[in-house]
Structure 1
Amino acid sequence: MSASKPQQRDEVRIKHSLNKNEKAFVARRRNTVLQCLQKFNIHCSQDKVPNIALLGSGGGQRAMVGLLGSLVQLDKAGLLDCILYLSGVSGSTWCMASLYKEPDWSTKLETVKDKIIKRLSGEGVNWKDAFAKLRKYYYGKDFFSLTDVWAAMFVTSFVKEIDEGTLTDEWKKHSKDPFPIYTVIDKHCKQSEEGDPWFEINPYEAGYSLTGAFVDASNFGSQFHKGSKKTHQNVLDMLYLQAVCSSALADGEEIWKWIKGPNSQSIEEYYQVLMDLVDMNLAVLEGTSTTDISALDQSIKTTLNDISGGEGQPLCKAFCLGASADLKADKQYMTQYTIDVCNQFVKLKLDFWPFDQIDSWRKNHRTSNLPYSPERVAELVDVAGKNISNNKEKLLEQIRAAAEAK
């Protein structure tokens, strides 16, 4: 029997097994987990160390801050080194991205926590930088999509930074942390209820674990055909990764239908307003002609008027790019115009919201609210931590049972 062909970086790996680099890391990490278990009188051989994973849920900034608070308390309880894998989806990946920016974050978590909270409590990314990032996506990628808009305009408003690092480069700084797995919901598989809806991205590979199909992490975003790479795409940065992991995008149409109700306009009209707004901002940055801007301006106003049934609030005065020969003034105007459109967008959404007591709902469910205040962040970190401290013995009981079962 001939030897199997070595796996190439530009090929799809079809196999239900760990990548060799992940396997080597896991073997080393097991030593750390074993030593941690022994401190709690949980004894087993190295080959019987249970695979302990911490899974973070989705839920926007609430999930981000909640995961951070849980990890901090696990560290204080001496349980953090029990974790072999750290995985999350949507908001939890925002926390993971912040953690793995810091080399060996688990050895200095209190300091890293303070740094993250300080950033979340700050002013955040300004409109100019956000649109500049959007422009970079627009001109630097073969396929520009709503995910790019989501990254530059939405994710930045919550994580309050533009992280242009890459997962593969950042992982080189880590030797003492759990192995990270970022998860993505495959929109088409989820909605069709066929195939594998979960797509994972780790420092070495990206692919479908149930299907057993993976590509090298440096090729995530490139196009493949019949198992081989055909079109290369530069490595996607961490900001885009946090956007693509957002589970809301996988349920986009269902979310809009639920919010708007059965008699509302189609999702395409909302999408068109958003894309016209993106084009307007890009045009201002590029200095495109007034005619192009006016056409986009009219398209936005007409569509918003149609969606609202003629009851929408008027936007700011007609746009006239270059009339003052002052690019700074044009950008300031575009910022206000964008805010007006977004406010109109929010109002239209809330008018269709299927709850009678919207104020009560907002108070108790803050997943989609604006970024939390510093006080709210601190409170949530504390509450999440108590969930761990109050259940430490139950966690140890389950870990002990898992070790004995192996």
Structure 2
Amino acid sequence: MRLPGRGCGIFAEVTEQIKTSPNCLLSVTVVRARNITSCDLLTGSDCYVSLWLPTASNKKVKTKTIQNNDDPVWNETFYFRIQNEVKNILELTVYDADSFTKEDKLFTVLFDVAKVKPGEVVREIFCLKSEKQESLEVEFKMEKIPGPPEQIITNGVLVSREVCCLEVQVDKEENKKYLKENKNVVLTVDASYEGTQKTTMDSDTFHFHCIKSWEPILKAKLQSVSDKEGSEGSSDDSLTVPLKLLAVGEKVKVHLLVGQNAKLELQLQVNDCPEHLDVRLGYNLCAEEQEFLKKRKKVVASALKKLLQLKRDLHEHEIPVIAVMAPGGSVRAMSALYGHLLGLQKLNLLDCATYLTGTSGSTWTMTNLYKNTSWSQKTLEGPISLAKKQVMKCKTNAISVEHLNNYCEQMIERAEEGHMPSFTELWSLVQEVFLRDEPDASKLSDQRKAVDQGQNPLPLYAILNVKVDQMSTFKFREWVEFSPYEVGFQKYGAFIRSENFDSEFFMGRLVKKLPESRICFLEGIWTNLFARNLLDGLYWSSSPDEFWDRWAKDMKEMAREDNASDGSLIATTSPSSTAGKLSEIFNDVLTTRPLLNKTHNFLRGLEFNKHYLQKREFIKWKDTMLDSSPHKLTPQEKHLCLIDVGYFANTSCTPILKPERNVDIIISLDYSMGNFFQQLELTSRYCKTLGIPFPTIKLSEEDKKNPKECYVFSEAEDPSAPIVLHFPLVNNTFKDYKEPGVKRSPSERKDGDVNLTNDRSPYYFTKLRYSAEDFDKLVKLGSYTICNNKDLILQTIQWAMTRRRLSMRGCFPTCPEVESA
């Protein structure tokens, strides 16, 4: 049940729905264009029009080219089989053809097919606002197609359509015979997820996944292995089989002519893919998280009763949802988070938290803790001692020849499994050596054991998905969340099981299951902002000559990375030699160093509901114009491009702003050195822009110059907004007190001296190695800051409980003035 006043009525429980809808035939007649401006000063335009409707075909079609004419007339008609329940946007582009140079794109227009109703004919004249008033005249006609309707699955934003799977078996012995002759069978289904596949010694059975209504066609031919991709090959003989001619479930044998009086037998079978989707379409919490919440509420209720010395048990509606939000900040974030969690543990507040979110460096702390199934029930001194050992150790061994060869072997193995090698993947392995003595075999799904009884807060990890061609501006960005249960986009209401992350999907179905990655590879994705500073850190941790020698014998010069965070691709000097297996594996990675991770897109193929833009659940950025262009959004991409949130906003707050999580209190930790409120203010503005309940951050000039240890922010006008307890990383009273209320002696004053202010700080972002003394200071500072604000934290929790009680009665009280400490 959603608590009144805490998001009620804003978002409904949206889950996937199954419905049927007929397909229609859209005919598009490109009539003519007028007043076209030629790009050639000497002759008229040589125009043609390209048509692209990605919801009907993954291929573009085009008209013939009209030579030397600024008013070309085509009168050519094209046909598209469409599903009216999806958003069909036709893209028409006018080109000026050129035989010698790249063809010039003159202009592009978009047309929403929903404007044409069945039985109607619509004529549109698309005009450009220019001196010559160029125009394109197009006629549209819609007709119903007889036959059974198509079954679709939708959550109101995304749509999954009916998919079939073609299985092709090539005769094994004949296949081996032709492979020995340096020939292989090339199989192509243009409308399929797989596209083109070729026989090898290890493969003679192939699968093609297709949208049924696209009426896919199989093409097969025998081709010399030496022929370039896309060439017609050495044989003029080919086989074409429309899949609609094959009865579902029946095996059919066909023959490919491979020479005079010679045939190669192929066995075909078309099967309908199951209705059940492997991508969960819905905006509600998954069943496992809902079950976790039931168990966790009991733990929280018991802890609060003891902590607040209550005389009775709490009712379910009185139990506040508390989230601990940790940002990034390299080794500083990892170390300080241990201290903050230790402070919460000392106050018996860890059992009161329902969620723990992290990003970048703070995820290192989280992944280490969640290997222990009852970590919050035990003292944190042990994990802190282990972390201290890793922070103190020398890092140069991570680039020894032995380790480099090991990285090489692991990347080759993962590539053979189907994972995509990347710079981030390489640094994941380097980073693991930094943080651990031995490889960690654990996986994200293993963390379910640490929450299966509600014994620990549920961990949530945040990251951004962007577009490669917009990395310099970040005009396109989408939040992605990871939990032990699922990975997904709240924006689209689409989630997959965490063990299936980086596997291959099409139209919501799992088409190729890859082994789940070890946790270090996810850490590399979550912290890839840090990757661009690793080279600097390694450089300064040893002499330059020693560094280059250790890196690789045949790699002599590599440019140091610029520390700017503009998100552009960083290029390094190419290796002077490419001899040897080691440099072969790193050659592509090191010559171009993208600061993002590419992984298989589990949204691939999914289409958009015709009303997706009207859905409140579809949370979009005001500056992301692509949201109104469905064919440019993530489901159309082959890969996800995942980057550290630090490139945009150093916060892991987004997962706990999901209305279904109903969070009452956010314990906001900040690991910035300076600009202590910048990320919180950015989060507040982001939420206001998107209509997400969140308090306004109001600060005095004195607060900005000399921040306190803790601040309380609440939104009096919006009781659905969470209360935020913000802890900047500052050294106010810790320099004078070793414990709350216990002053330092003169000899202990140096223990309270923590430099958090400049680039000479031992905690600067690029510092990979701390001394024992510096590590201890940072951990103790974090613990002290929490403990020193015990009364403020308890006061805020009590107010949140009161607010819940009153809201159940239909009262929406304003938050009392709570003095920040």
Scaled by the length of structure 2, the TM-score of the pair is 0.36
2:581 equivalent in structure 1: 283
Q: Secondary structure at the match of 1:183?
A: strand
Quote the offset at 1:239 in angstroms: 0.5
1:116 equivalent in structure 2: 387
Residues 360/64 of structure 1: CA separation in 2 closer, same or farther (3 Å cut): closer
| One-letter amino acid of the counterpart of residue 201, structure 1 | F
CA contact (8 A) 2:487 2:495 kept: yes
Q: Secondary structure at the match of 1:363?
A: coil
1:97 aligned onto 2:360: no
User: Aligned partners of 1:204 and 1:243: how far apart in 2?
Assistant: 19
CA contact (8 A) 2:462 2:482 kept: yes
CA contact (8 A) 2:390 2:434 kept: no
Map Cα deviations across residues 115-146 of structure 1 (whole Å, 9 max, x no partner): 33334334566432464145313331331011
Quote the offset at 1:160 in angstroms: 5.4
Map Cα deviations across residues 357-396 of structure 1 (whole Å, 9 max, x no partner): xx95242751221222222211111111111112111111
2:779 equivalent in structure 1: 381
Matches of residues 30-179 of structure 1 in structure 2 within 5 Å? 30-41=297-308, 44-108=314-378, 109-122=380-393, 126=398, 127=400, 128-129=402-403, 131-141=405-415, 142=418, 143-158=420-435, 161-174=438-451, 175=453, 176-179=455-458
2:283 equivalent in structure 1: 16
Map Cα deviations across residues 235-287 of structure 1 (whole Å, 9 max, x no partner): 011101111111517999xxx9973699xxx84522x65xx59987x824xxx
Q: Secondary structure at the match of 2:563?
A: helix
User: Aligned partners of 1:8 and 1:86: how far apart in 2?
Assistant: 35
| One-letter amino acid of the counterpart of residue 28, structure 1 | K
| One-letter amino acid of the counterpart of residue 380, structure 1 | L
Residues 116/157 of structure 1: CA separation in 2 closer, same or farther (3 Å cut): closer
Quote the offset at 1:110 in angstroms: 2.8
Higher relative contact order (CA 8 A, sep 6+): 1
1:243 aligned onto 2:510: no
| One-letter amino acid of the counterpart of residue 218, structure 1 | E
Q: When the two structures are aligned, how many residues end up with a matched partner?
A: 328
| One-letter amino acid of the counterpart of residue 83, structure 1 | A
Matches of residues 298-377 of structure 1 in structure 2 within 5 Å? 360-363=758-761, 366-377=764-775
CA contact (8 A) 1:362 1:369 kept: no
- Worse-superposed segment, 214-223 or 102-111: 102-111
User: Aligned partners of 1:277 and 1:210: how far apart in 2?
Assistant: 46
| One-letter amino acid of the counterpart of residue 401, structure 1 | W
Quote the offset at 1:202 in angstroms: 0.8
Structure whose residues are more often helix by fraction: 1
CA contact (8 A) 2:324 2:356 kept: yes
CA contact (8 A) 1:94 1:242 kept: yes
CA contact (8 A) 1:87 1:182 kept: yes
Quote the offset at 1:32 in angstroms: 0.7
Q: Percent identity?
A: 27
User: Aligned partners of 1:208 and 1:226: how far apart in 2?
Assistant: 16
2:461 equivalent in structure 1: 182
| One-letter amino acid of the counterpart of residue 376, structure 2 | S
Q: Secondary structure at the match of 1:206?
A: strand
1:269 equivalent in structure 2: 571
CA contact (8 A) 1:33 1:82 kept: yes
CA contact (8 A) 2:390 2:435 kept: no
1:209 equivalent in structure 2: 490
Larger CA Rg, structure 1 vs 2: 2
1:319 equivalent in structure 2: none
| One-letter amino acid of the counterpart of residue 445, structure 2 | T
Residues 187/164 of structure 1: CA separation in 2 closer, same or farther (3 Å cut): farther
CA contact (8 A) 2:328 2:360 kept: yes
| One-letter amino acid of the counterpart of residue 403, structure 1 | M
Residues 368/92 of structure 1: CA separation in 2 closer, same or farther (3 Å cut): same
Map Cα deviations across residues 68-104 of structure 1 (whole Å, 9 max, x no partner): 1111111111111011111100001000011011221
CA contact (8 A) 1:72 1:113 kept: no
Structure 1 unmatched runs, 5+: 304-358
User: Aligned partners of 2:457 and 2:352: how far apart in 1?
Assistant: 9
Structure whose residues are more often strand by fraction: 2
User: Aligned partners of 2:349 and 2:565: how far apart in 1?
Assistant: 46
CA contact (8 A) 2:561 2:570 kept: no
| One-letter amino acid of the counterpart of residue 198, structure 1 | W
Quote the offset at 1:157 in angstroms: 2.0
CA contact (8 A) 1:55 1:86 kept: yes
CA contact (8 A) 1:184 1:247 kept: no
Quote the offset at 1:159 in angstroms: 5.2
Quote the offset at 1:50 in angstroms: 1.4
| One-letter amino acid of the counterpart of residue 283, structure 1 | K
User: Aligned partners of 2:360 and 2:577: how far apart in 1?
Assistant: 23
Residues 140/57 of structure 1: CA separation in 2 closer, same or farther (3 Å cut): same
Residues 130/382 of structure 1: CA separation in 2 closer, same or farther (3 Å cut): farther
| One-letter amino acid of the counterpart of residue 118, structure 1 | K
Quote the offset at 1:29 in angstroms: 0.6
1:221 aligned onto 2:525: no
| One-letter amino acid of the counterpart of residue 184, structure 1 | I
User: Aligned partners of 1:68 and 1:172: how far apart in 2?
Assistant: 21
Q: Secondary structure at the match of 2:463?
A: strand
User: Aligned partners of 2:392 and 2:561: how far apart in 1?
Assistant: 34
Q: Secondary structure at the match of 1:367?
A: coil
User: Aligned partners of 2:363 and 2:346: how far apart in 1?
Assistant: 22
Residues 257/9 of structure 1: CA separation in 2 closer, same or farther (3 Å cut): farther
User: Aligned partners of 2:775 and 2:292: how far apart in 1?
Assistant: 33
User: Aligned partners of 2:531 and 2:431: how far apart in 1?
Assistant: 15
2:736 equivalent in structure 1: none
1:342 equivalent in structure 2: none
- Worse-superposed segment, 12-21 or 370-379: 370-379
User: Aligned partners of 2:785 and 2:342: how far apart in 1?
Assistant: 11
- Worse-superposed segment, 119-128 or 225-234: 119-128
